Amino acid sequence: MGAESGVAGREQERVLDVIIVGGGPAGLTAGIYLARARMNALLVEKQSPGGAPAMTERIENYPGFPEGISGFELVDRMRRQAEGFGLRINPFNPLLRMEEDGEVKVLETEEGELRAYAVILATGMRPAKLGVPGEEEFHGRGVSYCATCDGAFFKDGVVAVVGGGNSAVEEALFLTRFARKVIIVHRRDRLRAGKILQERALAHPKMDFAWKKVVKEIRGKDRVEGLLLSDVEGGGEEELAVDGVFLYVGNLPNTEEVRGVVELDGRGFILTDTSLQTNVRGVFAAGDVRAGAVWQVAAAVGDGVRAALNAQFHVENLMGTAYI
């Protein structure tokens, strides 16, 4: 691991140029640009760098990789590239809160206080909970939000995937490597995923579909044994025997630590202007956490570039060194 530990303690007495919060594609790209520009930048991340794409089995729509590439390999290349330019990455040091001290932004982390002239918030999203009985009780015992993490536990079993978007269908297809049957439970009568993913799923011999159904309860004893499904058109309820269930019913932004500091939309995503600056001067947002983002790796990379360039200009302008 090329990241330094204990960075916060050593940085307490001086002000950094830019702090990047979040180590997914947007944050790592911002780090590449800032480090290459020889800005005094630090990336803090509450987990290992990579973000959600690191748990994606295969990415096929990122330009330059006609055969596709694993999500982990793609973001690991980004990390190595950023560190190669000198970016310091301090994982396992989550942001607790942020406040202003004049032109300086103050970040409280678990390792201490960090100060910088600019901040890029690239904290991403996390899976939304379904909110039904049994979900919390069986989390880790048949309930999962990550097929690439847990799929191998269900070899030769029957699993359900709840959702019909790209993430749900991609992960359902991945699960066919292990399970003998994968059942997509979707509240509509057709999938919402891209056409290529739909075609693969509908043609796969291990895939089955429970159309116009919603999960009312996740049932079991020591672990998941089945689902109680309800027909959205009033056709009654039915039980579906499964060994596990993977939930892909939406995402929530990771913005709790900046709530009340930067302006959020009604769903909690960060509002920005065309320069990706928030309502707080010198604080930018990039990637999936930004309101209006399209939740694609290529788009997050573009956000990282814009946020980095604008953060750099902001800092240089404060110092009177900005290029005109």
Q: 129-247, superfamily in CATH?
A: FAD/NAD(P)-binding domain (3.50.50.60)
In 3D, which of 32, 18, 24 has the Cα closest to residue 288? 24
pTM: 0.82
Provide the residue-wise pLDDT of the chain in tens; the chain has 324 residues: 344 444 455 454 589 999 999 999 999 999 999 999 999 999 999 887 888 888 777 888 899 999 989 889 999 999 999 999 999 999 877 888 888 888 899 999 888 899 999 999 999 999 899 999 999 999 989 999 988 888 999 999 999 999 999 989 999 999 999 999 999 999 999 999 999 999 999 999 999 999 999 999 999 999 999 999 999 998 899 999 999 999 999 889 999 999 999 999 999 999 999 999 999 999 999 999 999 998 889 999 999 999 999 999 999 998 886 554
Instruction: Strands of the chain (E only): list them.
Output: 16-21, 41-45, 88-91, 95-101, 104-109, 112-121, 125-127, 143-144, 158-162, 181-186, 207-211, 213-220, 224-231, 237-241, 244-247, 251-253, 283-285
Fold agreement (7-126+251-319, 129-247):
yes
Return the DSSP state at 321. -
Catalytic site positions: 146, 149-150
Fold of 7-126+251-319: FAD/NAD(P)-binding domain (3.50.50)
Domain chopping of the chain, boundaries: 7-126+251-319, 129-247
Q: Which residues face 251 on adjacent strands?
A: 127
